[in-house]
Copies of this chain bind each other. A is one copy, B any other.
Amino acid sequence: MTTTAAPATMDDVAALAGVSTSTVSRALRDSPLISPSTRERVQQAAAQLDFALSRAASALATGRLGRIGLLVSGALSTWFNASVLDAAYATLREAGQELVIYSTKDDADRSDFFARLPAQRNVDALIVASFQLRPEEYARLAELSVPVVYLNQQVEKSASVFIDDVAAAALGTRHLVNLGHRRIAYVTTRDPEGFTFSAARRRDGVEQAVDQHNRSRPEDPATTWTVTVDATGGGIEVGQLAVGQLLGGDTVPTAVVTESDEVAMSLIPALQRAGLRVPTDVSVLGFDDNVLAPLFDLTTIAQPVAELGRAAARAALTLSLHGAEALEQPHQQLPTRLVLRGSTVVPRPAA
Residues of A within 8 A of B (CB): 1-7, 47, 50-57, 59-60, 65, 75-77, 79, 82-83, 85-86, 89-90, 93, 98-101, 103, 105, 115-122, 142-148, 157-159, 233-236, 239, 265-266, 268-269, 291-292, 294-297, 319, 323-325, 327, 330
Q: List the 8 closest pairs (A to B, CB-CB), nearest first.
A: A1-B324, A2-B147, A56-B59, A77-B82, A7-B145, A52-B120, A82-B82, A76-B86
A and B contact pairs by CB, cutoff 8 A, 5 listed: A1-B324, A2-B148, A77-B83, A268-B295, A269-B296
**Number of copies of this chain in the oligomer?**
2
* B79 near A77: Cβ-Cβ < 8 Å: yes
A157 CA to B3 CA, complexed, in Å: 9
Using A56-B60, A56-B122, A86-B103 as known contacts, list a sample of 6 further A-B pairs with CB atoms less than 8 Å apart, ordered by residue number in A.
Answer: A2-B148, A4-B147, A5-B145, A50-B120, A54-B121, A56-B57
User: Closest CB of chain B to A3's CB: distance in Å?
Assistant: 5
- Cβ–Cβ < 8 Å partners of A101 in chain B: 89, 98-99
Name A235's contact: one of B4, B85, B291 (CB within 8 Å): B291
Indicate whether A116 sits within 8 Å of B52 (C-beta atoms), given known contacts A103-B93, A147-B2, A148-B2: yes
Check B1 against A159 for contact (C-beta < 8 Å).
yes
A76 and B65: CB pair below 8 A? no
A142 to B294, CA, bound (A): 43
Query: Do the beta carbons of A121 and B52 come within 8 Å of each other?
Result: yes
Question: A90-B105, A122-B54 are contacts. A1–B144 as well, Cβ < 8 Å?
Answer: no
How far, in angstroms, from A103 to B143 measured CA to CA in the complex? Answer: 33
Q: Which residue of B lies closest to A55 (CB)?
A: B122
Q: Give the complex CA separation of A56 and B61 in angstroms.
A: 10
Are A142 and B7 touching (Cβ within 8 A)?
Answer: no
Out of B2, B57, B115, B323, which one reaches A158, CB within 8 Å?
A: B2
